[in-house]
């Protein structure tokens, strides 16, 4: 069960985020908010292979939620229940989708976008290449940091020097990203991506019973808040 999210196709992972987004609009009171958030927490415990990445996403989402709680409490008549409800609504809106998208493989996503949704092949190939470049930013940052440290340009304890180091690293990362984008563009044009209308795909994109079960789970979790709001 804990490898469930790794085996479903990427469109199901996108559906998880979309359903949580739509379902969050039905959260109007604290009871509905707590039950909806609890449902996603239980699903995460049962279906996710590890808690490290989900907790990281939860930390970023919680930061946004705390700011919403404070602003709602400060500007909304100091109503604690309404403020907490607004904060949990943000968690339900953003946390499931951010976790699910973290497990999306750009190559598999391209296969399903082209073969299941029948999107234009040129757009799908360019979109997949862009996602792969974005996913490699962390690796590029590590390589740049390692190279600068080897040359004696590592960060120091001086806050000003640390800020200057971060700015230099960001500029180097930007240059590396532009260079990589140019190389990808030339490689894609050399392989006929600019003019090809019909393109074959290396991997099949079947819909299995597990994918249908995943879609049912995504819809069920997203429907928790609307159903509770009605009853």
pLDDT greater than 70 at residue 143: yes
The pLDDT assigned to 76 comes to: 74
Mean pLDDT over each residue of the chain, to the nearest integer: 84
- For 68, other C-beta atoms within 10 Å of its C-beta total 19
- Give the closest residue to 177 by CA, choosing from 134, 131, 126, 128: 134
Once rounded to an integer, what is the mean pLDDT over residues 116-130? 81
The pLDDT assigned to 193 comes to: 67
Q: Is 97 exposed, middle or buried (0-12, 13-18, 19+ CB in 10 A)?
A: buried
Alpha carbons 38 and 92: distance in angstroms, whole number: 9
Residue 59: pLDDT band (50, 70, 90) is very high
Q: What is the pLDDT of residues 61-119, one digit of tens each?
A: 999 999 999 998 888 778 889 999 999 999 999 999 999 988 988 888 888 988 888 88
Angle 75-80-81 (CA atoms, 0-180°, nearest 5)? 115
- Whether the Cβ atoms of residue 31 and residue 81 lie closer than 8 Å to each other: no
Tokens of 67: 């700011």
pLDDT greater than 70 at residue 1: no
**Contact partners, residue 12, CB within 8 Å, separation at least 6:** 211, 214, 215, 218
**Contact partners, residue 53, CB within 8 Å, separation at least 6:** 99, 102
Per DSSP, 154 falls in state: -
Higher pLDDT, 147 or 68: 68
Alpha carbons 216 and 62: distance in angstroms, whole number: 27
């Amino acid at each position: 069960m804990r490898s469930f999210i790794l085996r479903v196709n990427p469109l199901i992972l996108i559906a998880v985020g979309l359903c949580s987004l739509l379902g969050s609009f039905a959260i109007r009171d604290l009871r509905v908010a707590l039950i909806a958030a609890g449902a996603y927490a239980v699903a995460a415990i049962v279906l996710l292979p590890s808690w490290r990445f989900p907790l990281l996403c939860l930390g970023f989402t919680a930061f946004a939620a705390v700011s919403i709680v404070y602003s709602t409490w400060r500007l909304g008549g100091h109503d604690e229940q309404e403020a907490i409800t607004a904060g949990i609504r943000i968690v339900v809106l953003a946390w499931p989708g951010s976790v699910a998208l973290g497990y999306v493989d750009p190559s598999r996503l391209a296969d399903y976008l082209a073969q299941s949704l029948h999107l234009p092949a040129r757009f799908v190939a360019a979109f997949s290449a862009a996602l792969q470049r974005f996913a490699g930013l962390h690796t590029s940052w590590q390589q740049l940091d390692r190279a600068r440290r080897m040359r004696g340009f590592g960060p120091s304890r001086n806050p000003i020097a640390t800020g200057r180091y971060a700015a230099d690293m960001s500029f180097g990362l930007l240059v590396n990203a532009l260079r990589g984008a140019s190389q990808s563009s030339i490689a894609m044009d050399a392989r006929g991506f600019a003019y090809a209308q019909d393109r074959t795909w290396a991997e099949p994109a079947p819909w299995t019973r597990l994918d249908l079960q995943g879609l049912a789970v995504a819809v069920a979790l997203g429907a928790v808040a609307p159903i509770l709001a009605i009853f």
